[in-house]
Amino acid sequence: MHVNHTQQHARIARFLRDVLDPARILDRVALDTEHWAVGGEPVPFSAAREAAYSPFVVGSPWGSAWDTVWFRIRGTVPASWQGSGAIELLVDLGYTDRLPGFQAEGTVYTTDGHIVKGLEPLNRHAPVTTTGAIEYYIEAAANPNIADGFQFRATTLGRKETAGDAPLYVARSFDVVLRDHALSALWWDATTLFDLAQQLPDESVRRARILESLSRVVDVFDASNPRGGVDAARAVLAPELVAPAAASAHTAIAVGHAHLDSAWLWPTRETVRKFARTLSNVLDLINEYEDFRFVASSAQQYAWVEENYPELFARVKRAVAAGRIVPIGNMWVESDATMIGGESMIRQFAQGTRYFANAFGVTSNIVWLPDSFGFSGALPQIFRGVGATGFVTQKLSWGDTNRMPHHTFAWEGIDGTRILTHFPPVDSYMSDLGAADLARAERQFAEKSISSQSIVPFGWGDGGGGPTRDMIEGGRRKSTLEGSPKVVFGTPAEFFETVRRELVDPPVWSGEMYLELHRGVFTTQVRTKQGNRRSEALLHEAELWAATAAVRAGAAYPHAELDVAWQLTLLNQFHDILPGTAIGWVHEEAERAHARVASIAHGIIESSLRALTGDGDRELVAHPTPRGPRGFSIIEPDPRAPVEVMSEPDGGATLRSEQLLVRLNANGEITSLIDREQGRELLVPGVPAAALQLFHDRPSQWDAWDIEEHYRRTPIALDDDATVDVVGTTVEVDRVVGDSRASLRWSLSGDGSSLELDITVDWREDEKLLKIAFPVGLLADRTAAETQFGHVWRSVHTNTSWEAARYESVAHRWVYVEEPGQGIVIANASSYGWDTKRVVVDGRGVGTQLRATLLRAPRFPDPLADRAEQRFRLSLRPVTHVGGAVAEGYRLSRPVRPLRGASSVEPLVQVSEGSVVVETLKLADDGSGDLIVRLYESEGRASSATLTVDVPWESARRVDLLERDIEGEAVIRSRAGVPLSVRPFEIVTVRILTAC
């Protein structure tokens, strides 16, 4: 049999595109259209309905960047259409078929303000339920296509003030149409089979028979009478559609989803509308498809809809109650998962769980973070501690070097806790349920020999939109279809239920899950990162002193104010905000949000301290750090240790205390750092520390996201011209760095044990990277970096591809390196990105370099990212073990607060064992007045400790991270304190009923 396969394929494709697709629309009527441009921020429907509209001619331009144009459309549906098919609006606002979440979008309203459905590039219809005269309003958002095919070009569109006022779109149609049900069914039959055939081997029998059947459909279909031949055409395809999948075929659990970034290439105000459009699309599908279910995370997004669209939210609540919409994840937003503080991660779940319970009466036991850029090894314990039993992500499939070896596995954290985890092998959080995606899921599934299922999240995402009827119709036809994995519409909970039966002993991944991509997110948009770090510290301090004031002085605990501040902080930990990968508009909003958090927190702290200390003129300091004998106390300040700072004849300077001797050269770099207590030089002779290093930084893609390894091969030589001056007890260094200027201020801490560094950079570079290097004379195979509730050890060597790929990594408040009996910690209060390597002199390893990444200057998506004056604060401290690193991180990040009052205040709580740290002290979220104490073991060793409370108390008990009772936990009533036996890195939450 002679078949020209190329011609056969082209003939079928053209038939589907040019004949069958348009044949689905039997008739159409153009609607009369008027418009009103808002000319500013969005307005509610009530305002738009009363606006003055003017005629609009189809084919005319509309919408400057970020503006909103309301269209009012009117017309008459022919009576003859009734009962002849589906009557729908079909609207083309001028979008393209690519990147549906990144362009113009619309929301269709009835005249009484009821949202009908969203309009998007690949979802352009809305149902019409009446005949005769019709009238609708369309809120059209002129969102600029900043992605622009992800060519990563600098753009001015990311800020309203630079976006310009030229219209971006040309509206092509506002029609009411009659769509034929049978022709639509034929379209879905044919496209499903054609799509499948393209994934099958050229030589397969199944492919040949599908293409032959489709060719016969082209033969028999009469384009001049589409309805007349539809039944015959469907009959030709029927045998191919009923051929069942193989018994061993993989099962794809199709989970309706619309990954919606809370902000990214659009501001949060646009996300509010995007989620409303997405939910209205979902509700329309729920009405049409009884087996369709939809999951969506992010309590913040539901809260926005509740506030701004109460009628839509009421329908969503009914769908949740019916099990058709499934709130998932229990988080406030889908946050970053590496830089976010441990207590912040718990609060993501506390706020999200509370919202889901109050709004819908449901909670989720599955953590859903499909798009976050890597995952801390502390997370399994946190996830299990908030009640989760399963975790889903897929972002690690983006890695540029190694592939994760598992898709369904137990993830073990730094404390030994495990959680069942799934990476959908489809490698996407927005599948279209097409044959290519399903084949990829089956082909790549690592556990296929012992497990039968994987999740396939389907629906347009990033910018929202969600599933479409084309996806569902195609998925239904693949429920059991020869040559395809089986498609079952389901939920993650149903998937995990099956997996637990199949995988009694799943494979294990231990430790952090590092994304081998997007290594620049630890640095970009430093003010957003510093705002987060500051907000986390201030909220810790606000809760500490507010709880202490409530218990000791009877002050009212500011639950509502703290909720507002926490929700602002949590929102700006979203995985495109905290990482610094959003447009400039978003980061400017984040800075304002963090300023508001600071204002709230400072107000709470000041009023709480006044209530505790009373009115007076006694000089006091409040200690918010948990480490040391003064932790959580308000006492008189310690006298400063004597220090000596002097200029040297060579142009350098010396700083000296009882503990340290530091020498700087004429370039302001450290040439000697002597731990006088140990009698040890901590630097490598001839290798200065604290050298600023500038590099070219031009990643091949994902500018704000990526640092690529080749930057190390393109250093930029810096002039040695620096000025070094001694001003009081500070050494001031000023120098030029490329087109920028840097000022470094060296001083010794109040106790003389730490060398402190304040850096100011007036950053004026483009596509450059600035680091500061600290090569130290400690030869080590590994370094430690703080993470949530603990730390991780990482190799200095690059023996394997996994280690080589980790050339930029994240640390919270400190990094640490040691030899037996001697270590040094570098603490920081402002940055997250680090790299380490061996120091080599004369072909021999002699030390370890710890290098902080201070600044980048990407062009996309924000061409102004970080180009401003930036400030950083670091410290170096010799210590003898990792516990000293923990203490120094707290000291630098949570400094004492000077105040004046009448009396000192003893700590409300203390813990006896040095490695067990009180991270959080607050009152219970439920308003009971109970005291909540959160502790963790900080050094990675099992410990026994006693928690003492300095007020009368009646009982204490361990609770989970959401302050809920744990079955089987004993109630403690001993006045001697609360005994604690703590595993390495274990987090413990104690709930105390006080007698106050």
pLDDT at position 99 over 90: no
Those residues whose C-beta lies under 8 Å from the C-beta of residue 594, and which sit 6 or more positions away, are 528, 531, 532, 534, 535, 568, 569, 572
pLDDT of residue 448: 96
**Cα-based distances in Å from 807 to 494, 520, 853:** 39, 11, 12
Those residues whose C-beta lies under 8 Å from the C-beta of residue 842, and which sit 6 or more positions away, are none
pLDDT of residue 578: 98
pLDDT of residue 818: 97
Is 2.40.50.140 the CATH number for 25-179? no
Q: What is the pLDDT of residues 184-200, one digit of tens each?
A: 999 999 999 999 999 99
Q: What is the pLDDT of residues 35-45, one digit of tens each?
A: 999 999 999 99
Reported confidence tier of residue 905, pLDDT bands at 50, 70, 90: very high
Q: What is the pLDDT of residues 614-672, one digit of tens each?
A: 999 999 999 999 987 899 999 999 999 999 999 999 999 999 999 999 999 999 999 99
Separation of CA 601 from chain center: 24
Reduce the DSSP state of residue 595 to 3 states and report it: helix
pLDDT of residue 296: 98
> Domain limits of the chain?
5-22+193-235, 25-179, 257-509, 518-613, 644-893, 908-996
The mean pLDDT of 270-282, rounded to a whole number, is: 98
pLDDT of residue 627: 85
Sheet of 408-412, strands arranged across: 366-368, 390-392, 418-422, 408-412, 508-510
d(CA 348, CA 837): 35
| Ramachandran region, residue 111 (left: φ > 0; alpha: ψ -120 to 50; beta: rest) | alpha
- Between 258-262, 530-534, 797-801, 912-916, the lowest mean confidence (pLDDT) is in 912-916
User: What does the mean pLDDT of the chain come to?
Assistant: 97
The topology (CATH level 3) of 518-613 is Substrate Binding Domain Of Dnak; Chain:A; Domain 2 (1.20.1270)
Angle, helices 469-477/181-197, rounded to nearest 10 degrees: 70
Given 3.20.110.10, 3.90.1530.10, 1.10.274.10, 3.30.465.10, which CATH number is that of 257-509?
Answer: 3.20.110.10
Q: Report the share of the chain in percent with pLDDT over 70.
A: 100
- Between 13-22, 92-101, 791-800, the lowest mean confidence (pLDDT) is in 92-101
pLDDT of residue 553: 96
Positive or negative: CA dihedral 532, 534, 539, 544? positive
Encoding tokens for residue 628? 């040391």
The mean pLDDT of 412-421, rounded to a whole number, is: 98
pLDDT of residue 1: 65
Separation of CA 54 from chain center: 43
DSSP 823-869: EEEEEESS--EEEEEEEEETTEEEEEEEEEEEEE---SS-TTTT-SE
Reduce the DSSP state of residue 43 to 3 states and report it: coil
Question: Which residue matches tokens 């007698």?
Answer: 995
Q: What is the pLDDT of residues 221-247, one digit of tens each?
A: 999 999 998 999 999 999 999 999 999
pLDDT at position 996 over 90: no
Helix (H) or strand (E) holding 204, with range, is: none
pLDDT of residue 830: 83
Task: For residue 710, report the phi and psi dihedrals to the nearest 5 degrees.
Answer: -70, -10
d(CA 674, CA 659): 8
Residue 935: other Cβ atoms inside 10 A: 26
The topology (CATH level 3) of 644-893 is Beta-galactosidase; Chain A, domain 5 (2.70.98)
b or e along 974-989 (b: 16 or more beta carbons within 10 Å of the residue's beta carbon)? eeebbebebbbbbbbb
What residues are paired with 91 via a beta bridge? 174
pLDDT of residue 976: 82
Question: Which residue matches tokens 């352009």?
Answer: 124
Q: How much is the pTM? A: 0.97
The mean pLDDT of 284-289, rounded to a whole number, is: 97
Reported confidence tier of residue 915, pLDDT bands at 50, 70, 90: very high
For 258-365, strand residue ranges (E) read 294-296, 325-327
Reduce the DSSP state of residue 188 to 3 states and report it: helix
Separation of CA 439 from chain center: 29
d(CA 12, CA 216): 10
pLDDT of residue 4: 87
Q: What is the pLDDT of residues 108-160, one digit of tens each?
A: 999 999 999 999 999 999 999 988 999 999 999 999 999 999 999 999 999 99
Q: What is the pLDDT of residues 723-777, one digit of tens each?
A: 999 999 999 999 999 999 999 999 999 999 999 999 999 999 999 999 999 999 9
Helix (H) or strand (E) holding 788, with range, is: none
Do the beta carbons of residue 71 and residue 34 sit within 8 Å? Answer: yes
Do the beta carbons of residue 578 and residue 528 sit within 8 Å? Answer: yes
Q: What is the pLDDT of residues 821-859, one digit of tens each?
A: 999 999 999 889 999 999 999 999 999 999 999 999 999
The topology (CATH level 3) of 908-996 is Immunoglobulin-like (2.60.40)
Asked, colleague to colleague, whether 25-179 and 518-613 share their fold, the answer is no
Q: What is the pLDDT of residues 42-82, one digit of tens each?
A: 999 999 999 999 999 999 999 999 999 999 999 999 999 99
**Cα-based distances in Å from 907 to 373, 544, 547, 620, 896:** 39, 10, 11, 14, 14
The mean pLDDT of 325-347, rounded to a whole number, is: 98
Reported confidence tier of residue 376, pLDDT bands at 50, 70, 90: very high
b or e along 436-456 (b: 16 or more beta carbons within 10 Å of the residue's beta carbon)? ebbbbbbebbbbeeebebbbb
d(CA 202, CA 198): 8
Do the beta carbons of residue 549 and residue 929 sit within 8 Å? Answer: no
